[in-house]
A and B are shown apart, each in its own frame.
Chain A
């Protein structure tokens, strides 16, 4: 037992060490970007948003997905989630911090970022995104911290937290809806100009976020004293299955409208994604990987015998996460620009520096997440030593 713990501690330090190195590389790459401008990225006049904005979009979804734990526990008194709601809230905190960092990293003039407040423009969706993301970050920080403190002291959280928790439920929906509005309200970009953009965003978020949480719970069980238990993960598996099915369904709806209507401006973008246009097919292998992984994961999650096997469940969750990361963290943003409104088939291939910065921001978020989860595990070890040890025994 002691051996295992010290081994785990070594792995934890190794993990933190790797994160710090990736962050350092990202910071160096970002200093280069500060010096030379966004020209060091693969973005250009045709494709003016790339990896950064795509990560921002994907991570807002991850943040919003915490509601998939909060809602069943606080609205339906689904007790099994009681021990893991904090994991969702802390994940939301880390994800919001990452998504905001990606916005800053994407700015041409980050030194002027405060103009968004100094010259606040309520007609801009970015203004509202700033408000809902800041609010969501504060809500989850306050809720997470207060609930954790209550657990440490062995008392129920103070009464004033409850309204905040209830508020955080619609607020989670709002952050991803507003983020979808960034895209869905632009007249000249037919790929994004769709009323089901926000539902699509929410469906894919409610699959990818919980998938990440299942993987996190399995990692925590393997390397820490905290065990979320089997049943909560099974329930999450069902939630992921429903959300993933909705997500796939929505994409099929888009394909129907684009191709049955035969309107070229609708169809072109999907052609670019799945078959390529005039030899421009950078995204094609990625999009097919995403599609195959999504369908395969859905099959695994729908077959009870497979879902109940945690190895299969883990594989399905990894597939869901990768599939939806490709869809939103890669395909959705770039494809909106190709073809351009004047018919140019642009190209976008992220540069090494751009990827280094992207990985650096991810590592920063994961480091924050690691620290928050470290606190969480420490409190759990303190307050329910018997339960966690018992559950952790093989």
Chain B
């Protein structure tokens, strides 16, 4: 979606912004989101290390939902979710077995849009309201979506939510920098494309900070932090057998 010319501009802008911000971001030197700050990646991806998630921590979820004006609608089957916690055996139905330690089986694992290389949601959308950018991010055009929910049926990860009602009364504090949605459209994680454009890491990654459970970066750059980590640590993906080529990786060791 972004042509090369614009990408190069973004890259320059991103580098400039990053350069100017480096001294004032306290943890930027060791931040897992540092590589993400270089806008204009070849292909964005994420690594999640569930063992580094402190029990009960919801910082990344709260940060994401605050930044993106995600409404808080209580009750089972009502939650709009961009990033959420799913018991391990639900996120990885093929990996659970009777001898797996019960704690491990039910340990909450972060689940979000996998920004698939081959996204079924994009394939089925009848209006191109959801599409894959050349940097791999699967985004939504909330102004084009007709609310048919074909994409929700197509997503094998439960990563999409429908605004069955007006979300605005359910937003705690509206962030004026990001649009709110109307009722009747679908929404989902956008890998913080609006922050990447400003050279900032995704909100969840920033909120996680030094805990390092979330890592974001350019998959095509072998020297990126995320790729170097994946060299040492074995990672798995959710339901890779479906051919979607998800780009969120989970460290298992």
Q: Which A residues are closer than 8 A to B by beta carbons?
A: 36-39, 41, 43-49, 103, 106-110, 112-113, 115-116, 118-119, 121, 123-127, 130, 182-183, 185-189, 264-265, 336-337, 340-344, 346-347
Contact = CB atoms under 8 A, between A and B. Distances in A.
A37 B184 contact: yes
Contacts of A121: 125-128
A347 B77 contact: yes
A189 B153 contact: yes
Tell me which of A119, A189, A265, A337 has the highest count of chain B C-beta atoms within 10 A of its own C-beta. A119
Contacts of B147: 38, 107-109, 112
Interface in B77-115: 77-81, 86-87, 89-91, 93, 111
Contacts of A346: 77
A107 B90 CA distance: 30
A116 B146 contact: yes
B146 A37 contact: no
Contact of B90 (A183, A336, A343): A343
Nearest to B150: A126
A341 B162 contact: no
Contacts of A107: 146-148, 184
Residue with the highest number of chain A CB atoms closer than 10 Å, among B91, B111, B153: B153
Given A37-B164, A48-B162, A342-B158, A108 B150 contact: no
Given A45-B161, A119-B128, A187-B154, A343 B120 contact: no
B126 A38 contact: no
A188 B155 contact: yes
Given A115-B129, A124-B125, A265-B93, A108 B149 contact: yes
Contacts of B91: 342
A341 B77 contact: no
Given A121-B126, A188-B120, A49 B77 contact: no
Nearest to B167: A37
A124 B123 contact: yes
A57 B163 CA distance: 23
B148 A106 contact: yes
30 contacts: A38-B162, A44-B164, A45-B78, A48-B152, A49-B149, A107-B148, A108-B148, A108-B183, A112-B127, A112-B144, A115-B146, A116-B127, A119-B127, A121-B126, A121-B128, A123-B122, A124-B150, A126-B126, A186-B120, A187-B156, A188-B156, A189-B156, A264-B93, A342-B86, A342-B91, A342-B158, A343-B90, A344-B90, A346-B77, A347-B77
Main secondary structure of the interface of B (DSSP, over half): loop
A55 to B, nearest CB: 15
Contacts of A264: 93
Nearest to B123: A123
Given A44-B77, A126-B126, A187-B244, 13 more contacts: A37-B164, A44-B164, A45-B80, A45-B162, A108-B148, A108-B149, A108-B164, A108-B186, A115-B144, A124-B124, A126-B148, A187-B154, A341-B239
Contacts of B185: 108-109
Contacts of B230: none
A36 B89 CA distance: 37
Contacts of A185: 124
**Residue of B162, B182, B242 with most partner-chain A CB within 10 A:** B162
B228 interface: no
Given A108-B163, A115-B144, A188-B120, A45 B79 contact: yes
Contacts of B158: 340-342, 344
Contacts of B194: none
A337 B153 CA distance: 8
B79 to A, nearest CB: 6
Nearest to B165: A39
A47 B186 CA distance: 14
